[in-house]
Amino acid sequence: MVLANPTGTWSAADGAALYGIDRWGDPYFSVSDRGHVIVQPRGDRGGSLDLVELVGELQGRNLSLPLLIRFDDILEDRLERLHAAFERAIAQYAYRGRYQGVFPVKCNQQRHVVEQLVESGRRWHFGLEAGSKAELLIALSLLDDPEALLICNGYKDRRYIETAILARRLGRQPVVVIEQADEVERIIAASNELGAAPFIGIRAKLSTRSTGRWGSSVGEGAKFGLSIPDLLATVEALRAAGLLADLRLLHFHIGSQINDIAVLKDALQEAGQLYAELTRLGAPMGFLDVGGGLGIDYDGSRTATAASTNYSLQNYANDVVATVRECCEPHGVTMPTLVSESGRAIASHFSVLVFNVLGASRPPITAPEPGEQEPLIVRNLRDTFAGVSGHEPLPPERLQEAWNDALKFRDDALAAFRLGYMSLPERAMAEQLTSSCSATIARRLEDLPAGTPVPVELERLRASQAGTYYANLSVFRSAPDTWAIDQLFPVLPLHRLDEQPTRLGTLADLTCDSDGKLARFIDRGHSKALLELHELQAEQPYWIGLFLGGAYQEVMGNLHNLFGSTNAVHIRLTAGGRYSVDHVVRGDTNAEVLQAMEHDPLALLERLRVASEAAITRGDLAIRDARRLMDHLEGSLRQTTYLQG
Ligand SMILES: *Cc1c(COP(=O)(O)O)cnc(C)c1O
């Protein structure tokens, strides 16, 4: 459908405001006067790249879309901001302790990402958090800073615990966090056997209830953490085993994407008191780990809604520092080193998923040519269409009347068809004319003077005119949380932002699954079902970016319909406004996704070769065509699973 442009002027700033980029994008993403999305990978510290030019040049390097562009400078800037926020808070509240964060590996386990974080985080002794044996292996191997913490969460068997104990001799600092009541027995047994203990942490099950999607991560029903009686029993068990001197850390995690800062404050107070109690019970302690949950403002609305947060990074740091101080000071307890496991907050911004639109469905605006001797019902529809297609202005009442007529005639046509009085081509004609009426009426609504009241039914008609844009992407692979948990990410065209979008639409992906679509979009504290998009231009690419998806999406993505990973690149800003392509990670080929399902690509090919030989022998297939077929099949095995531009 066509959107109104009451003033007739539209600038890149309007485009930026429409998609909210000036709210959620700050300081990394903005719009240039040319209407292109601009990336400032170092935030406020200067330097920018035109994302459209960048994508063009990456395509020139044979990196086809969909493409995941990772800006390592952004990753570094996020780390910098997190530490700066805690440093400011520590200074402001005269906190007598440090901040020392860790990155939860589960948020993005990609090698280049973890390596970059370890490298960039070295100056703050930034560490890692692991939740499984495979993640522990990554963390132990990559985290070579002896002062950095390695927080070991998740279920732990004897081997996991012994690994953590022995790794201390490599100069690593693993902290084994007791998450289940029975883990303490295994820790005691392993320590006795090895004659050495790990650093020990305890995860508390807080009574504070979080709100939102991850609210059930806390409270009595939580999967992880010790209840208060279990916590006390664990302390006594450690004391009895002579291991209380190794109890160094209290941990809690109240779920991801905390929307409301009030929830965090409650949890911090509870955890702060627990920490003080643990020191009173004789544990040396030293570290308070406030877990993850630091949220991202996906829609820029600054509200306690699902796609937003009602606090800033600085508010978060202030609350952590101030609350822990308030809990410790009156009891004379030494203020702990503060640890956080912020994943989403560190890794969301740095990657941008870029995909192209392959085509769009267009609602009809002209009526099909009349046939000979059309039945009365069809002629009625044709008259209705003619009535709304003229040039004279029509008030909403007349448009409503015409739409009522069109609906009545369409129902008549259906009834006539059911009863055998109307042929299939006649019914098709009736349906086409009905669509032409609805598209034209929707368009006429746009001609009405601004502020004219429009009947609800016609408003609905307007929405029903939305187009479907076909996207070269699998949401199951690249944005699984949009499907699994209705998460919203900012989605917008990378160019033409200086041009008013004239259509509303949804984005359908390549999979054969009706859920494979993007059909909810950010809208300042709410969501909207349709996104403003531009009319496609012949021979011109239309590139869309999905932003803030650097956390969780890659690993949660799956092979639905056998669409594999996309191409990915790591970009670094260099002097003179240029950039370097530091790493290229090729997307899965068709051969690779077939192998993932235990198929042998060469064996599949061989069976088809045999079948084509048989067809040649039968005279059903020319040798030239057989070769063409085999070339296509062989070629596609080496290519990515997406449509080639
Ligand atoms: C998932 C998880 C995190 C990371 O949470 P974010 O919301 O991404 O910061 C931190 N700690 C634990 C224990 C987790 O399970």
* Contact predicate 118/130, CB 8 Å: no
Write out the two tokens for 252.
């809690």
What mean pLDDT do residues 617-638 have? 97
Q: In this predicted model, what pLDDT tens digit does every residue of 451-484 receive, in sequence order? A: 888 888 888 887 778 889 999 999 999 999 999 9
* pLDDT confidence tier of residue 217, bands split at 50, 70 and 90: low
Write out the two tokens for 246.
């190794």
Model pLDDT, residue 222: 76
Helix (H) or strand (E) run with residue 203 in it:
strand 199-203
Q: Domain 95-341 class?
A: alpha beta
- Comparing CA positions, the residue from 321, 334, 320 lying closest to residue 292 is 320
- Comparing CA positions, the residue from 412, 553, 536, 426 lying closest to residue 479 is 553
Considering only CA atoms, which residue is closest to atom 5 of ligand 1?
Answer: 292
Question: Does residue 98 surpass a pLDDT of 60?
Answer: yes
Q: How many CA within 13 A on the CB side of residue 8?
A: 1
| Ligand 1 atom nearest 214 alpha carbon | 7
User: Among 135, 150, 253, 339, which is best to mutate for testing ligand 1, by the most ligand atoms less than 8 A from CB?
Assistant: 253
Ligand 1 mean position, distance from CA 102 (Å): 10
Residue 512: CB atoms within 10 A of its CB come to: 8
* Contact predicate 190/162, CB 8 Å: yes
* Contact predicate 572/42, CB 8 Å: no
Question: Does residue 4 surpass a pLDDT of 60?
Answer: no
Q: Which residues contact residue 365 at a Cβ distance below 8 angstroms, ignoring those fewer than 6 apart? A: 436, 439, 440, 443
Q: In this predicted model, what pLDDT tens digit does every residue of 589-598 receive, in sequence order? A: 999 999 999 9
Model pLDDT, residue 461: 85
* Contact predicate 557/546, CB 8 Å: no
| Ligand 1 atom nearest 251 alpha carbon | 13
* Contact predicate 413/419, CB 8 Å: no
Give CA 526 to chain center in angstroms.
17
Model pLDDT, residue 525: 86
By three-state DSSP, how is residue 154 classified? coil
Residue 642: CB atoms within 10 A of its CB come to: 23
Burial call 177-215: b when 16+ CB within 10 Å, e when fewer: bbbbeebbebbbebbeeeeebbbbbbbbbbebbbebbbe
Model pLDDT, residue 215: 65
| Ligand 1 atom nearest 217 alpha carbon | 15
* Contact predicate 127/173, CB 8 Å: yes
CA 100 – CA 429 distance, rounded (Å): 70
What mean pLDDT do residues 33-49 have? 96
CB-defined site of ligand 1, < 6 Å: 104, 106-107, 129, 153, 253, 256-257, 291-294, 341-345, 551
Q: In this predicted model, what pLDDT tens digit does every residue of 594-612 receive, in sequence order? A: 999 999 999 999 999 999 9
Per-position DSSP letters for 295-354, written without gaps between them: ---SSS--SSSTT--SS-HHHHHHHHHHHHHHHHGGGTPPPPEEE---SHHHHSTTEEEE
Ligand 1 mean position, distance from CA 238 (Å): 27
Q: Which residues contact residue 600 at a Cβ distance below 8 angstroms, ignoring those fewer than 6 apart? A: 594
CA 63 – CA 585 distance, rounded (Å): 10
Entry field: residues in the chain = 645
Please give, one letter per residue, the 3-state secondary structure of 497-536: CCCCCCEEEEEECCCCCCCCEECCEEECCEEECCEEECCC
Q: Which CATH architecture has domain 376-462?
A: Up-down Bundle (1.20)
What mean pLDDT do residues 42-48 have? 94
Ligand 1 mean position, distance from CA 511 (Å): 30
* Domain extent listing, the chain: 95-341, 376-462, 603-638
Ligand 1 mean position, distance from CA 126 (Å): 16
Question: Does residue 1 surpass a pLDDT of 50?
Answer: no
Q: In this predicted model, what pLDDT tens digit does every residue of 566-597 receive, in sequence order? A: 999 999 999 888 999 999 999 999 999 999 99
| Ligand 1 atom nearest 255 alpha carbon | 7
Residue with tokens 């040519």: 369
Helix (H) or strand (E) run with residue 573 in it:
strand 567-574
Q: What letter does residue 450 receive in the DSSP assignment? A: T
Ligand 1 mean position, distance from CA 229 (Å): 25
Q: What letter does residue 128 receive in the DSSP assignment? A: E
CA 161 – CA 186 distance, rounded (Å): 8
Model pLDDT, residue 488: 97
* pLDDT confidence tier of residue 368, bands split at 50, 70 and 90: confident
| Ligand 1 atom nearest 257 alpha carbon | 7
Burial call 228-260: b when 16+ CB within 10 Å, e when fewer: eebbeebbebbeebebbebbbbbbbbbbbbbbb
Q: What is the percent of the chain with per-residue pLDDT over 90, rounded to a whole number?
A: 87
Q: Which amino acid is at 4?
A: A
Per-position DSSP letters for 170-187, written without gaps between them: GT--EEEEE-STTHHHHH
* Contact predicate 472/510, CB 8 Å: yes
Residue with tokens 């085509």: 359
* Contact predicate 143/243, CB 8 Å: no
What mean pLDDT do residues 329-358 have? 97
- Comparing CA positions, the residue from 465, 379, 383 lying closest to residue 429 is 379
Write out the two tokens for 383.
């008259």
What mean pLDDT do residues 128-138 have? 97
Torsion angle (degrees, nearest 10) of CA 596, 598, 602, 607: -130
What's the Cα-to-Cα distance from 239 to each of 195, 247, 295, rounded to whole Å? 16, 10, 37
Mean pLDDT over each residue of the chain, to the nearest integer: 94
Q: In this predicted model, what pLDDT tens digit does every residue of 316-339 receive, in sequence order? A: 999 999 999 999 999 999 999 999
Ligand 1 mean position, distance from CA 251 (Å): 12
Per-position DSSP letters for 214-240, written without gaps between them: TGGGSSTT-SSSB-HHHHHHHHHHHHH
CA 381 – CA 400 distance, rounded (Å): 15
User: Among 79, 117, 129, which is best to mutate for testing ligand 1, by the most ligand atoms less than 8 A from CB?
Assistant: 129
User: Among 155, 176, 256, which is best to mutate for testing ligand 1, by the most ligand atoms less than 8 A from CB?
Assistant: 256
Write out the two tokens for 569.
């690149």
Question: Does residue 206 surpass a pLDDT of 80?
Answer: yes
Model pLDDT, residue 211: 63
| Ligand 1 atom nearest 295 alpha carbon | 7
By three-state DSSP, how is residue 469 classified? strand
By three-state DSSP, how is residue 140 classified? helix
* Contact predicate 191/165, CB 8 Å: yes
User: Among 107, 108, 224, 264, which is best to mutate for testing ligand 1, by the most ligand atoms less than 8 A from CB?
Assistant: 107
Q: How many CA within 13 A on the CB side of residue 115?
A: 6
Domains 95-341 and 376-462 share a fold: no
